[in-house]
Structure formats: C-alpha cells, structure tokens
Structure 1
C-alpha cells in the first residue's frame, strides 16, 4: 500500500504528483502490461542477449 504523507497547507496536486511517482516506481502497471501477452522463451532469450550487447557497447564507449 502506498502512503503519501500530506503536510498541512500542501497543494493536493503536489500530493497527487508524489503518489504517481511512487506508484510508477513500484512497477505495477509495467508488470501488468508484461503479463497480458505471452512471449516465447526463445524470444525472451534473444531480447536479453540484445540488451546485454547494448549495455556492453555503452560501457565500451564510456572508456
């Protein structure tokens, strides 16, 4: 459960913005969207490899 403490006199829009940020960080919506569609294990493996190559290239460019 997400709890957003609201200070006295604080704007409600500001509190909503805090709530949205905390909710986004939990990853609930992202997980829900991921579960709506089945991906074959081979596709997941390929995506994981592509991501690893991408990260490796980024790190190589940093140095």
Structure 2
C-alpha cells in the first residue's frame, strides 16, 4: 500500500502527481498486469530469449 503524506497547504493535484510517480516507480502496475493472465514458464522463457536476441542484434548493428 502506498502512503503519500500530504503537507499542510499542499495542492491536491501535486499530491496526486507524487502518488502517480510513486505508483509507477514501485512497479505495482506491472505486477498487476502480470497477475491478470497466467503465462506458462516456457512461454516466459522464450520471450526472454527473444528479447535478449533482439538487444544483441541492436548492439551488433552499432558495432559494425
């Protein structure tokens, strides 16, 4: 649970902005999206390998 202390005289929009920033940084959003649908471990591993291959190809293209 995220707790955002609101200072006296602080604008509510500013407090909401701090909440949103903290929400994104704590990766709660990503965890919630992952829990919505189950992915098999083999599929997750395959996606991880494909991402690594893509990044490696980009690095190889830079060094040509």
- Cα RMSD (Å): 2.0
Offset from partner CA, 1:5-34 (integer Å, 9 cap, x none): 555554321221111011111111211220
Select between 28-37 and 47-56 the one with higher mean Cα deviation: 28-37
TM-score normalised according to structure 1 size: 0.72
The answer for the alignment partner of 1:35 in structure 2 is 35
Structure 2 residues without counterparts, runs of 5 or longer: none
TM-score normalised according to structure 2 size: 0.71
Give the C-alpha shift of residue 60 in structure 1: 2.0
Aligned residues: 63
Between 1 and 2, higher relative CO (CA 8 Å, sep ≥ 6) is seen in 1
Residues 1-63 of structure 1: pairs in structure 2 closer than 5 A:
1-4=1-4, 6=6, 9-63=9-63
Structure 1 residues without counterparts, runs of 5 or longer: none
